[in-house]
């Protein structure tokens, strides 16, 4: 029998991209999204979105093998062990990549404009949001009834 913890992302958001598992930012969020996708409870959250692909590109793991591992019912700890067994990345590379990811913001001038427009729709009075992870956290919060 297929048993799997499957968060219902129509009811609450996945974990913040800042939450780390084994040093990897975004991995817990990716697990939540994959579990919800497998259970058809992903709502507006897309599995294999651009942020997910950054993780897959960094680790060298494909989205299909990762989803298969998630569908097998592995716990978070077991999925971390699976990721570590399927990547050639060293722990210090994971730390550096995670730090880079956590501090990423829009690069080019036009991207800053789009980023500001997104923030103004979520929370017009906020001027302190400068990274993609901050924007995702704000979006998750506002999408489920919070005031930006």
On whether the CB atoms of residues 118 and 135 are closer than 8 A, the answer is yes
Answer whether residue 51 is part of any domain: yes
pLDDT (tens digit per residue) in 22-32: 999 999 999 99
Domain check: are 118 and 55 in the same one? no
On whether the CB atoms of residues 42 and 70 are closer than 8 A, the answer is no
Answer whether residue 117 is part of any domain: yes
pLDDT at res. 147: 86
Answer whether residue 87 is part of any domain: yes
Residue 108 has pLDDT above 70, yes or no: yes
Domain check: are 55 and 39 in the same one? yes
Task: Give SS3 for 5.
Answer: coil
Token output for 84: 């570590």
* Alpha-carbon torsion (131, 133, 135, 138), positive or negative: negative
Domain check: are 31 and 62 in the same one? yes
pLDDT (tens digit per residue) in 46-67: 999 999 999 999 999 999 999 9
Answer whether residue 9 is part of any domain: no
pLDDT (tens digit per residue) in 67-87: 999 999 999 999 999 999 999
Q: Note down the domain range covering 115.
A: 109-143
How big is the chain, counted in residues? 148
Domain check: are 30 and 97 in the same one? yes
């Amino acid at each position: 029998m297929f048993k799997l913890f499957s968060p219902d992302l129509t009811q609450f958001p996945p974990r913040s991209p800042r939450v780390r598992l084994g040093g990897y930012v975004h991995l817990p969020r990716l697990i939540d999204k994959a579990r919800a996708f497998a259970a058809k409870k992903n709502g507006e959250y897309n599995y294999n979105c651009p942020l997910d692909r950054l993780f897959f590109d960094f680790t060298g793991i494909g989205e299909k093998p990762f989803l298969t591992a998630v569908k097998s019912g592995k716990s978070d700890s077991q999925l971390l062990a699976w990721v570590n067994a399927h990547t050639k990345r060293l722990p210090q590379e994971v730390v550096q990549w995670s730090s880079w990811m956590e501090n990423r913001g829009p690069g080019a001038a036009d991207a800053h404009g789009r980023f500001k427009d997104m923030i103004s729709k979520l929370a017009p009075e906020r001027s302190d949001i400068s990274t993609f992870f901050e924007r995702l956290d704000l979006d998750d919060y506002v999408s489920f009834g919070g005031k930006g």
